[in-house]
Structure 1
Amino acid sequence: MKLHAAAILVIFWLGIFTVHTVKGSVGSQPMRKLSCVSLSTQQLNIRNLVSYEKQKAPVNAIMFITTKGIKICVSPNQKWVQAAIKKIDQNHATKRK
């Protein structure tokens, strides 16, 4: 009887181990990328912006990243946004040289 119970216990633990190995842990799952769902209407100071990301869904937006790491979403159709993108691209091109 003890051997039977031990065999069942071993099979149970092998099953748990297999499920855990196949599924992976939470730490091994890729992080979801932050996306814009609302847009700021305030014009940002271009000197405080270090990079940007373009986004098409769920809304068409530009996500600016500030020198402090803050991410702010804005509409890409504004003139100041296009000027900021151009300035950031120029700064990155200068740093690569």
Structure 2
Amino acid sequence: MAESLEPEDIELGPVLSALADPHRRHVIHELVNDTDGSERPCTSFGLDLSKSTRSHHFKVLRQAGLVHQVDRGNRSGVTLRRADLDARFPGLLSLIGSEKES
């Protein structure tokens, strides 16, 4: 994916807007609590959504600067931009990680 914000260009408004959706917050919650930080397939988050809807949600997360996404043929992998987000918004990922999912 070509579009990737520089860490200093990640803005709070788009980040909060992306996190307002429960499906996207679920993805970030899982990535925050995934301690090894390895790349995960976009299909591994248990989202019971159509492929186009799932793609839309990952696009929003990517455009907000929350994740880095890599296309691997007919699959995509996603990683949390943990260091960038911790530097830009200290404590945000800890809050998301400690949130109880419904």
Do these two structures clear the TM 0.5 threshold for a shared fold by scoring above it? no
Query: TM-score when scaled to structure 2?
Result: 0.27
Higher relative contact order (CA 8 A, sep 6+): 2
User: Whose helix fraction is larger, Structure 1's or Structure 2's?
Assistant: 2
Query: TM-score when scaled to structure 1?
Result: 0.28
Higher Rg of the two aligned structures: 1
